[in-house]
Amino acid sequence: MLDILGVKIPLLIALGGVALLFLLLFLGRLLWKAIVWGLTLGTILILVLVIVGKFPPRRLPLPWPVPSKPPRLAISPPTTMGVRVLRVIDGDTIIVELQGRQEKVRYISLDAPDLQTRMKESYGRQAQEANRQLVEGKTVRLEFDLQQRNWDGDLLAYVYLLDSTFVNAWLVEQGYAKVKRMLPNVKYQRRLTQLQKEAQLAERGLWSLE
C-alpha cells in the first residue's frame, strides 16, 4: 500500500474527512445561530411596530393656545368690495360701514399731514377737507392688497369712487399726501411715487411749503 512520508493514504483521507465534518458542523452552528438571531430580531421589530400602531405617542400640549381661526391680520388674495363712507378722519383715514359694522380704513401707501401738529402750515386740515369733499357720504370701492389689516386692526385699502377715480392717487397727485412704503402692499407703489415726483416739481399742496 502506498504511503507518503511513511503515512498511509487511507489514513490521510480519513483524517481529512473528519476535519471537513467538524468544519461543516462549526459553520452549520454559526449559520443556525445567525438564523435564530435574525428571526428573534424580526419578531421583536414586528411587535414594536404593532404596539406603536395601537398606542401612538401622545402629543404634548403647546405652551400657547392655537387659534381656531385665522387672526384678523390675515394674508389673502386681492379682492374688492363696495362700502359707504360714514366720515373722514383725516387725509388718509376714513370710517366706512361694512357688513353692518363700522370699520376704520387706512389708505395704502399714503401719509397725510398730521392734524395734531400746532404748525398752521402743516396742511393737515387742507388734506382732511379735500378727502372729505372727495368721499364722505359716498359709496366707494375698496381694493385690498396682500395684507388686509394692520396691527391695529384697521383695514388697508386702495379707494375708488364709482366713477373710477383712484382716491389714493388723486390725493398724492394734488399734494395732499406723501407716499409711504407699507410692505407687503406695494401694488401701486411705482405709480404713486411717480405722481409724487410730479406734484413736487409743480409745487402742489404741501410741496409748496417746502
* CA 167 to each of CA 62, 102, 106, 172: distance values in angstroms, whole numbers, following the listed order: 46, 20, 12, 9
- The answer as to whether 170 is a domain residue is yes
CATH code: domain of residue 138: 2.40.50.90
Q: What's the pLDDT score for residue 208?
A: 87
Task: Based on the fold, state whether residues 94 and 176 are members of the same structural domain.
Answer: yes
Task: Tell me whether residue 123 is exposed, middle or buried, using C-beta atoms within 10 angstroms of its C-beta: 0 to 12, 13 to 18, 19 or more.
Answer: buried
Check if the beta carbon of residue 171 is closer than 8 Å to that of residue 110.
yes
Q: Which residue has the cell 414594536?
A: 48
- The answer as to whether 200 is a domain residue is yes
- The answer as to whether 19 is a domain residue is yes
Q: What's the domain range around 93?
A: 80-209
Check if the beta carbon of residue 169 is closer than 8 Å to that of residue 175.
no
Residue 84 to residue 86: CA distance in whole angstroms:
6
Task: Based on the fold, state whether residues 96 and 171 are members of the same structural domain.
Answer: yes
- The answer as to whether 59 is a domain residue is no
Residue 191: CB atoms within 10 A of its CB come to 15
Per-residue confidence of the chain (210 residues) as pLDDT tens digits? 444 455 456 655 666 655 665 666 666 666 666 676 666 767 777 776 667 565 555 544 544 343 444 333 333 444 567 899 999 999 999 999 988 899 999 999 999 988 765 555 478 899 999 999 999 999 999 999 999 999 999 999 999 999 999 999 999 999 999 999 999 999 999 999 999 999 999 999 999 886
Task: Based on the fold, state whether residues 49 and 94 are members of the same structural domain.
Answer: no
Check if the beta carbon of residue 175 is closer than 8 Å to that of residue 205.
yes
Task: Based on the fold, state whether residues 114 and 186 are members of the same structural domain.
Answer: yes
Indicate the helix (H) or strand (E) that contains 86: strand 80-90
Q: What's the pLDDT score for residue 193?
A: 96
Number of independent structural domains in the chain: 2
Task: Based on the fold, state whether residues 19 and 101 are members of the same structural domain.
Answer: no
Q: What's the pLDDT score for residue 49?
A: 67
Give the three-class secondary structure for 46: helix
